[in-house]
């Protein structure tokens, strides 16, 4: 399969031996069965380092428009590569379309695959950890699979003699998190937020990052200033989130 070819011949040798990457706690990833790897997102290098350094094949949901290949020769190449290595489209337009757009990801999980996702929804604008979006919780509850928290460290891409370089990145893998008591609450926003915050707290414990209770996209778009983001620093994610009852609320 092309995934194994690109991973073992191209990416892994460069990332492990040239960049000096290492992984800690890989034994925490179940060797079989559907599982979600939820990671912080420091830089574009994360998407190369993480799948190169772990044994299991990782499927990353990518923006659905990248699979269209309708913006010239390069976009056609990108669409071919994503499809060839088994990545799947994710509709991020929001609303009903976004919910229906989870189908390709849920199919991978149902088939026992390993899905990688960045709950922050974007790269960190300043190296801090930002509020997670609840899609990760919705995926896990709908597919009835565990979430494994992952922290990327030192994965920022720099330039060395004009060549893109990542200096000794580290992948830190935490223990699987099960939320089976909430499998029937996939549409409950309180459950989705609580599960997401628990996962983000586990990621922060592994990464040691400062946590900001705001979406990273808000900072990137300019709708939230750095001073406003600084004012939203909390000790950890979910510090103000109340755990929902395990039983559904009475009708």
Once rounded to an integer, what is the mean pLDDT over residues 132-139? 94
Residue 240 belongs to some domain of the structure: no
Average pLDDT, the chain: 88
Q: Residue 6: what pLDDT?
A: 78
- Cβ count within 10 A of residue 231: 12
Asked if residue 66 belongs to a domain, the reply is yes
Residue 72 lies in a domain: yes
Lowest mean pLDDT among 60-64, 169-173, 184-188: 60-64
Instruction: Provide the pLDDT for residue 133.
Output: 94
Average pLDDT for residues 168-194, to the nearest whole number?
Answer: 96
Judged against a pLDDT cut of 50, whether residue 132 lies above it is answered with yes
Which pLDDT band, with edges at 50, 70 and 90, does 95 fall under?
very low
Position 98 scores a pLDDT of: 52
Q: Which domain holds residue 47?
A: 2-234
What sign results for the dihedral spanned by CA atoms 36, 37, 43, 47? negative
Domain count, the chain: 1
The answer to whether residue 87 is domain-embedded is yes
Tell me the pLDDT band of 99, cut-offs 50, 70 and 90.
low
Residue 62 within a domain: yes
For residue 97, pLDDT over 50 is answered with no
Give the dihedral of Cα atoms 149, 154, 155, 161; nearest 10 deg: -170
* Domain-embedded: residue 251: no
Contact status, residue 40 vs residue 207, Cβ threshold 8 Å: yes
Q: Is 244 inside a domain boundary?
A: no
Dist CA 91 CA 201 (whole Å): 26
pLDDT reading at 50 higher than 80: yes
Residues 6+ apart with CB under 8 A from 27: none
CATH number of the domain at 211, please.
3.40.1130
Task: Evaluate whether residue 11 is within a structural domain.
Answer: yes
d(CA 60, CA 105): 9
Quick one: average pLDDT of 57-63?
A: 83
Per-residue pLDDT tens for 188-219? 999 999 999 999 999 999 999 999 999 999 99
Alpha carbon distance 116, 112 (integer Å): 13
Q: How confident is the model at residue 247 (pLDDT cuts 50, 70, 90)?
A: low
Q: What is the DSSP string of the chain?
A: -HHHHIIIIIIHIIIIIIS--EEE-GGGS-SSS-EEEEE---STTHHHHHHHHSSS-EEPEEEGGGGT--SSHHHHHHHHHHHHTT-EEE--S-HHHHHHTTHHHHHHHHTT-EEEE-TTSS--SSSSEEPPPTHHHHHHHHHT--EEEEEEES---EEETTEEE--S-EEEE---B--GGGTT-TT-HHHHHHHHHHHHHHHHHHH---EESS-HHHHHHTSS-HHHHHTTEESSTTTTPPPPPSSPPP-
């Amino acid at each position: 399969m092309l995934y194994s070819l690109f991973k073992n011949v191209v990416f892994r040798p460069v990332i492990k031996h040239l960049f000096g990457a290492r992984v800690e706690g890989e034994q925490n990833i179940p060797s079989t069965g559907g599982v979600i790897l939820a990671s912080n997102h420091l830089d574009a290098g994360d998407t190369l380092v993480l799948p190169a350094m772990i044994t299991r094949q990782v499927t990353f949901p990518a923006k659905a428009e990248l699979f269209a290949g309708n913006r010239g020769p390069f976009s056609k190449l990108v669409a071919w590569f994503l499809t060839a290595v088994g990545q799947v489209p994710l509709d991020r337009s929001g609303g009903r379309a976004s919910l229906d757009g989870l189908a390709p990801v849920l199919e991978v999980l149902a088939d026992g695959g390993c899905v990688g996702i960045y709950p922050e929804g974007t790269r960190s604008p300043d190296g801090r950890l930002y509020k997670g979006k609840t899609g990760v919780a919705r995926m896990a509850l709908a597919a009835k699979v565990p979430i494994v928290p992952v922290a990327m460290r030192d994965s920022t891409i720099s330039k060395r003699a004009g060549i893109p370089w990542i200096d000794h990145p580290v992948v830190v893998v935490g223990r699987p998190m099960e939320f089976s008591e909430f499998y029937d609450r996939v549409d409950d926003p309180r459950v989705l937020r609580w599960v997401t915050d628990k996962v983000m707290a586990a990621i922060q414990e592994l990464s040691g990052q400062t946590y900001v209770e705001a979406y990273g996209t808000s900072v990137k778009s300019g709708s939230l200033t750095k001073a406003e983001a600084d004012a939203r620093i909390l000790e950890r994610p979910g510090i103000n989130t109340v755990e929902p009852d395990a039983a559904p609320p009475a009708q």
